[in-house]
Amino acid sequence: MEQNQDFSRTLSLLRRERGVSQRSAASDLGISQALLSHYENGAREPGLAFVRKACDYYHVSADFLLGRSMNREGTTIGAEELYDASAEKGNVVRGSISAMLSKKLLVNSLDLLFDLLGKVGSKAAINAASNYLGDAVYKVFRHLYRASGTQNEGFFSIASNHFMAGCTDADMVYSEADYLDSLTQQAKEKGKESFPAMHNDALKQSYPQAYQSLLQIVHNTGERVNKTVEARKK
């Protein structure tokens, strides 16, 4: 089994999510605590028998345990090991394997997206995309902040009533409109040839690792949206 840092991090985070001690997990898995510690720290690599046992113990697929999928039951996309494009090497989201993998998918996909936008060469498109995504990050964080029960929202310059009324949503709509306008203008002024190739083979060749994260997001979003559409038809 070749070196896989995702495996050791995932193994450790799954144990913490389950709320069991390293000693208890090692006993359940039929190995010593010292050996489990080596596996979780990446100091040693387990054999296939242990991987199977760990998958059964934590009720996850091998793809999930190896960091190849966000789906605990497996994935319909034959993705390569997810690559972390973050400049902060060794940076790990604490406490949740789902948070860690979600972070990796988004970081890798955004790295690819802004590289493509850089090749297009439209500053207006880059700024609009940044504003749109910035609004999304702002909303996710502020809802999290509010849910914690904190009453003081002086940290934010947007008034609470304005935020809850959807002013940030409105800014996202306008940012998306600016994004579409700037891409249309780019195609009109520079021609379609100013856009890099974005078919499957081209993206896979240019971004052999990060592209797998984008594929996963495309797949997950498609599944989620299509289920919603089908549900509304019933």
Question: How many domains is the chain partitioned into structurally?
Answer: 2
Q: Flag whether 71 is in a domain.
A: no
Domain span holding position 44: 5-65
Q: Do 148 and 193 fall into the same domain?
A: yes
Question: For 49-96, what is each residue's pLDDT tens digit?
Answer: 898 899 889 888 887 787 666 566 654 343 344 444 444 445 544 556
Q: Do 115 and 227 fall into the same domain?
A: yes
Q: Do 119 and 162 fall into the same domain?
A: yes
Query: Per the confidence metrics, is the pTM higher than 0.85?
Result: no
Average pLDDT, rounded, for the chain: 84
CA distance 190 to 194: 6
Rounded percentage of the chain residues whose pLDDT exceeds 90? 45
Q: Flag whether 10 is in a domain.
A: yes
Mean pLDDT to the nearest integer, 143-149: 88
| pLDDT exceeds cutoff 80 at 152 | no
DSSP H or E segment with residue 90: none
Question: For 193-206, what is each residue's pLDDT tens digit?
Answer: 999 999 888 998 99
DSSP structure class, residue 209: T
| pLDDT exceeds cutoff 90 at 232 | no
**Cα dist. 44→36, 68, 108, 233 in Å?**
9, 20, 27, 52
Q: Do 173 and 130 fall into the same domain?
A: yes
Give pLDDT, residue 172.
97
Give pLDDT, residue 230.
86
**Cα dist. 138→103, 132, 161, 186 in Å?**
16, 10, 15, 28
Beta-carbon contacts of residue 200 (< 8 Å; ≥ 6 apart): none
- Are 60 and 70 in contact by the 8 Å Cβ rule? The answer is no
Give pLDDT, residue 174.
97
